[in-house]
Structure 1
Amino acid sequence: MSGAPDESSVRVALRIRPQLAKEKIEGCHICTYVMPGEPQVVLGKDKAFTYDFVFDMDTQQDAIYTHCTERLIEGCFEGYNATIFAYGQTGSGKTYTMGTGFDVNIGEDELGIIPRAVNHLFRGIEERRQAATEQGRPVPEFKINAQFLELYNEEVLDLFDSTRDLEARRQKSNIKIHEDANGGIYTVGVTTRTVTSAAEMIQCLKLGALSRTTASTQMNVQSSRSHAIFTIHLCQVRVCSPDNNDNETDNRLANDSEIDEFETLTAKFHFVDLAGSERLKRTGATGDRAKEGISINCGLLALGNVISALGDRSKRSTHVPYRDSKLTRLLQDSLGGNSQTVMIACISPSDRDFMETLNTLKYANRARNIKNKVMVNQDRASQQISALRTEIARLQMELMEYKTGKRMVGEDGMEGINDLVHENSMLQTENNHLRVRVKAMQETIDAQRARLTHILSDQANQVLAKAGEGNEEIGLMIENYIKEIEELRAKLLESEAVNENLRKNLSRVSTRSSMYGGPGSFLAPEKEASDVIEMAKKDLEKLKRKERKKKKRLRRYEESRHPEVASVVKDEIPDNDQERGNEEAEAEASDHDEAEDADGEEEEFDVAGEETSDESDSEELDEKENVQADLANITCEIAIKQKLIDELENSQRRLHTLKQQYEQKLTMLHNKIRDTQLERDKVLHNMGSVESGTEEKAKKIKAEYERKLSSMNKELQKLQSAQKEHTRLLKNQSQYEKQLKKLQQDVTEMKKTKVSLMRQMKEQQERNRASECRRNREIASLKKDQRRAEHQVKQLEAQKRQQELILRRKNEEVTALRRQVRPVSGKVTRRVPEPPQEPSHRAVPGRLQSSAANTSNGARSSPVRMGSIYLSRTARAKWQSLERRVSDIIMQRMTISNMETDMNRLLKQREDLTRRRERVSRKREKMAVDGADADRSLASLNEELESLSANIDYINDSIADCQANIMQMEEAKEEGDTVDVTAVISSCNLSEARFLLDH
Structure 2
Amino acid sequence: MDQFYLENVARYHKLVNALDATPKPRVSTGEAGPSMVVSTRIRPLAEDESFPSAIFPRSTQQNVVDVHELYNHPSGIPILKSSDYEVDRLFTPESTTEQIYTNLVADLVPFAWNGGIGTLFAYGQTGSGKTFTVSRLERLVAETLTNGTLEGGKEISMTIIDLAGNAAFDLLNERKPVSLLEDASGVTQMVGVNEHKVHNKQEMADLIELATSFRRTAPTFKNDASSRSHAICRIRIQDPASNSDGLLYLIDLAGSESARDVAAHGADRMRETREINISLSVLKDCIRGKAEADALALSGRRKMPYIPFRQSALTRVLKHVFDPAGTRPCKTVVIACVNPSLADVGPSKNTLRFAEMLRVLVPVGEKDLDMEALVNWTNARVREWIVENSGSPPILPNVLAPRESGVQLLNLSSTEFEYRCQKCPGVKSAHARALRLKFWQLHNDSLQTGEASKELAVAPSAS
TM-score of Structure 1 vs Structure 2, range by shorter chain = 0.5 to 0.7
Given the alignment of the two structures, is residue 212 of structure 1 paired with residue 215 of structure 2, yes or no? yes
Helix, strand or coil: the match of 1:320? coil
For structure 1, the 5+ residue unaligned runs are: 1-6, 100-111, 130-139, 165-172, 238-261, 379-388, 395-999
Alpha-carbon distance between aligned partners in 2 of 1:61 and 1:289, rounded to the nearest angstrom: 31
Equivalent position of 2:317 in the other structure:
330
Taking the aligned partners of 2:223 and 2:233, their CA distance within structure 1 comes to: 23
Deviating more after overlay: 296-305 vs 40-49: 40-49
Indicate conservation of the 8 Å contact 1:78/1:265, yes or no.
no
- In structure 2, C-alpha distance between the alignment counterparts of 1:174 and 1:70, rounded to whole Å: 30
Q: Which of residues 235, 258, 266 in structure 2 aligns to 1:286?
A: 266
Structure 2 partner of 1:122: 146
Structure 1 residue 187 corresponds to structure 2 residue 223 = no
Q: Secondary structure at the match of 2:350?
A: helix
Amino acid across the alignment from 1:225: R
Structure 1: distance between partners of 2:260 and 2:175: 37
Q: CA deviation at 1:12?
A: 1.0
Give the letter for the 2:200 counterpart: S
CA offsets, 1:342-394, max 9 Å, x none? 0001112123322322222221122221899664689xxxxxxxxxx99xx99
C-alpha deviation, 1:208, in angstroms = 1.1
Which amino acid in structure 1 is aligned with residue 316 of structure 2? R
Matched, 1:342 2:342: no
Q: Pick the aligned partner of 1:266 from 245, 249, 268.
A: 245
Tell me the alpha carbon deviations over residues 691-731 of structure 1, each in whole angstroms, 9 at most, x when there is no partner. Answer: xxxxxxxxxxxxxxxxxxxxxxxxxxxxxxxxxxxxxxxxx
Matching residue's letter, 1:322? F
1:66 correspondence with 2:83: no
Q: Which has the higher helix share?
A: 1
Question: Are 1:358 and 2:349 matched, yes or no?
Answer: yes
CA distance in 1, matches of 2:342, 2:90: 19
Aligned residue runs from structure 1 range 572-583, under 5 A: none
| Alpha-carbon distance between aligned partners in 2 of 1:38 and 1:84, rounded to the nearest angstrom | 22
Q: Which amino acid aligns with 1:229?
A: I
Tell me, yes or no, if structure 1 residue 54 matches structure 2 residue 90: yes
Conservation of the 8 A alpha-carbon contact between 2:56 and 2:66: yes
* Secondary structure of residue in 1 paired with 2:154: strand
> Which residue matches 1:178?
182
C-alpha RMSD of matched pairs (Å):
3.2
Q: Structure 2: how far apart are the matches of 1:363 and 1:288?
A: 25
| Distance in structure 1 (CA, Å) of the matches to 2:39 and 2:184 | 31
Q: Matches of 2:278 and 2:150 in 1, distance apart?
A: 44
Residue 18 of structure 1 is matched in structure 2 by: 44
Task: Kindly indicate which of the two structures has a greater share of residues assigned to strand.
Answer: 2
Q: What is the CA–CA distance in structure 2 between the aligned matches of 1:51 and 1:59, rounded to whole Å?
A: 16
Q: Tell me the distance in 2 between the aligned counterparts of 1:46 and 1:279.
A: 20
Q: Which amino acid aligns with 1:175?
A: S
Q: How far apart in 2 are the matches of 1:346 and 1:285?
A: 24
Q: Work out the CA distance in 2 between the residues paired with 1:59 and 1:306.
A: 29
What's the counterpart of residue 7 of structure 2? none
Q: Which sections of structure 2, spanning at least 5 residues, go unmatched?
A: 1-32, 69-80, 297-302, 363-407, 417-428, 435-463
- CA 1:281–1:206: 2 relative to 1, 3 Å: same
2:155 to 143, 150, 168: 143
| Counterpart Cα distance in 2 of 1:163 and 1:90 | 22
Q: Which residue of 2 aligns with 1:761?
A: none
SS at match of 2:286: helix
Letter in 1 for 2:166: E
Gap change, CA 1:210 and 1:163, over 3 Å in 2: closer
The alpha-carbon deviation at position 340 of structure 1 amounts to: 0.9
Superposed CA deviations along residues 471-506 of structure 1, whole A, max 9, x for unmatched, are: xxxxxxxxxxxxxxxxxxxxxxxxxxxxxxxxxxxx
SS in 2 for 1:220: coil
Cα distance in 1, alignment partners of residues 415 and 315 from structure 2? 22
The 8 Å contact of residues 213 and 225 in structure 1, kept in 2 or not, is answered as yes
CA gap 1:21/1:159 in 2 versus in 1, 3 angstroms? same
- 8 Å Cα contact 1:12/1:344 also seen in 2: yes
Q: Deviations over 1:739-773 (max 9, x none)?
A: xxxxxxxxxxxxxxxxxxxxxxxxxxxxxxxxxxx
Amino acid at match of 2:154: F
Q: SS where residue 34 of structure 2 aligns?
A: strand
Looking at both structures, which has the greater relative contact order when contacts are Cα pairs under 8 Å and sequence separation is at least 6? 2
Output one character per residue of 1:46-83: Cα deviation in whole Å (capped at 9) or x when no partner.
64333221011121121111111111112223222201
1:34 has 2:21 as partner:
no
Please give the alpha-carbon distance, in whole angstroms, between the structure 1 residues aligned to 2:134 and 2:413.
26
Per-residue CA distance 1:771-805 (angstroms, 9 max, x = gap)? xxxxxxxxxxxxxxxxxxxxxxxxxxxxxxxxxxx
1:84 aligns with 2:120: yes
Distance 1:35 1:334 in 2: 35
Do the aligned partners of 1:307 and 1:370 also contact (CA within 8 Å) in 2?
no
Shift in alpha-carbon separation, 1:339–1:17, aligned structure 2, 3 A: same
- Given that 2:178 and 2:190 are in contact with CA atoms closer than 8 Å, whether structure 1 keeps it comes out as no
Q: CA deviation at 1:121?
A: 0.8
CA gap 1:214/1:375 in 2 versus in 1, 3 angstroms: same
Aligned runs of 1:463-542 on 2, under 5 Å?
none
- Shift in CA distance, 376/277, structure 1 to aligned 2, threshold 3 Å: farther
Give yes or no for contact 1:265–1:377 (8 Å, CA) kept in 2.
Answer: no
Cα shift at 1:147: 0.3
Write the letter of the residue equivalent to 1:218: F
Q: 1:304 corresponds to which residue?
A: 284
Change in CA separation of 1:377 and 1:184 when aligned onto 2, cut-off 3 Å:
farther
Distance 1:180 1:80, change over 3 A: farther
Deviation at 1:264, TM superposition (A): 4.6
Superposition TM-score, scaled by structure 1 size: 0.29
State the SS of the aligned residue for 1:306.
helix
Contact 1:158 1:191 in 2 (8 A): yes
The aligned runs of 1:837-856 (5 Å cut-off) are none
SS of structure 1 residue aligned to 2:221: coil
What are the residue-to-residue correspondences of 1:621-640 with 2, within 5 Å? none
Distance in 2, matches of 1:114 and 1:174, equals 23
Pairing 1:926-941 to 2, within 5 Å after superposition: none
Q: Contact 1:176 / 1:189 at 8 angstroms: preserved in 2?
A: no
- CA gap of 1:184–1:42, structure 2 versus 1, over 3 A, is farther
From 195, 202, 207, the equivalent of 2:205 is: 202
Question: Displacement of 1:39 after TM fit?
Answer: 2.1
- Structure 1 163/32 Cα, relative in aligned 2: closer, same or farther at 3 Å? closer
Q: Which residue of 2 aligns with 1:295?
A: 275
CA distance 1:286–1:16, change in 2 (3 Å): same
Deviations, residues 906-953 of structure 1 (Å, cap 9, x unaligned): xxxxxxxxxxxxxxxxxxxxxxxxxxxxxxxxxxxxxxxxxxxxxxxx
Q: Answer whether contact 2:258 2:347 (CA < 8 A) is retained.
A: no
> In the alignment, which residue of structure 1 is the partner of 2:164?
152
Aligned to 2:161, the other structure's residue is in SS state strand
Is this contact kept in 2: 1:160–1:208, CA < 8 A? Answer: yes
State the alpha-carbon separation in 2 of the partners of residues 369 and 185 from structure 1.
Answer: 27
- C-alpha separation in 1, matches of 2:190 and 2:235: 13
Return the offset for 1:185: 5.4
The residue type paired with residue 257 of structure 2 is: E
Cα–Cα, structure 1 residues 160 and 65, in superposed 2: closer, same or farther, change >3 Å? Answer: same
SS in 2 for 1:175: strand
SS in 1 for 2:110: helix
1:8 is paired with a residue whose SS is: coil
Counterparts in 2 of 1:38 and 1:370: CA distance versus 1, 3 Å: closer
AA partner of residue 193 (structure 2): V
Aligned pair count reads 316
Measured after TM superposition, the shift of residue 29 of structure 1 is 4.2
Does the 8 Å contact 1:312/1:366 carry over to 2? Answer: no
- 2:72 — aligned with what? none
Percent of matched pairs sharing the same residue: 28
User: What per-residue deviation string (whole Å, max 9, x for no partner) do you get for residues 241-267 of structure 1?
Assistant: xxxxxxxxxxxxxxxxxxxxx645411
